[in-house]
Amino acid sequence: MKPDLTFRNLALIRGRLVLAVTLALLGLSLMLVSLGLVQAARQSHDQALAQRQEAQRRLAEMRDEEQAIGPRLARYGELQKRGYLGQEDRLSWVEQIRRIQAQRGLSALRFELAPQQPIDRGDAGIELLSSKMKLELQLLHEEDLLGFLADLRAAASAYTRLRSCRLERLPDGDRSEGATAQLVATCSIDWITVGAGK
């Protein structure tokens, strides 16, 4: 028996063929759309990962900076507490010198402080200021001078830099009756503070 290829059968086959092609195209379209969505999701995921890594890098940098700044802030606070920063406190300096003189039992001590002068302005905009002091004191022996300078450096509310010191024996005529001083020291000392940058 031969298959009956009639017009009606051809129309039915053609309809099914059109339906099959339409379904295939629809399936292909859905597959392409889903591939596009997957690709967009991957790109979004990769972008989110990159942003997360950048945030983690910045956080690590901030932690490193915090660790580096912490000791510097502590040092800054220490310098400020000691009086190294800001206006010089000459009255405090005079009191410190007189207190050390009394504690060490030094008989004669004279000093003169010159006006404050700028030393240098660094790249960070920090200005170093110096007041030069000429100091003359009478001593029993050299150790009195070393002790005085050590006490001054420890107590001073500024950084003290010894520029020069000359030690000479006192002539017999310059010694008063009953005086124990044998030597005279003439020193030049810088009192250095940090001014505010402009």
> Which parts of the chain register pLDDT below 70?
1-5, 7, 79-80, 82-84, 86, 120-125, 173-179, 196-198
| The pLDDT of residue 121 | 61
Q: For residues 189 and 192, give the distance between their C-alpha atoms in angstroms, rounded to a whole number.
A: 9
Token digits of residue 50: 């990159």
**What is the pTM assigned to this prediction?**
0.56
- Mention every residue, 6+ apart, whose C-beta is less than 8 A from residue 135: 109, 110, 111, 185, 186, 187, 188, 189
The 10s digit of each residue's pLDDT in 66-105 is 888 877 777 777 766 766 676 778 888 889 999 999 998 8
| The pLDDT of residue 66 | 83
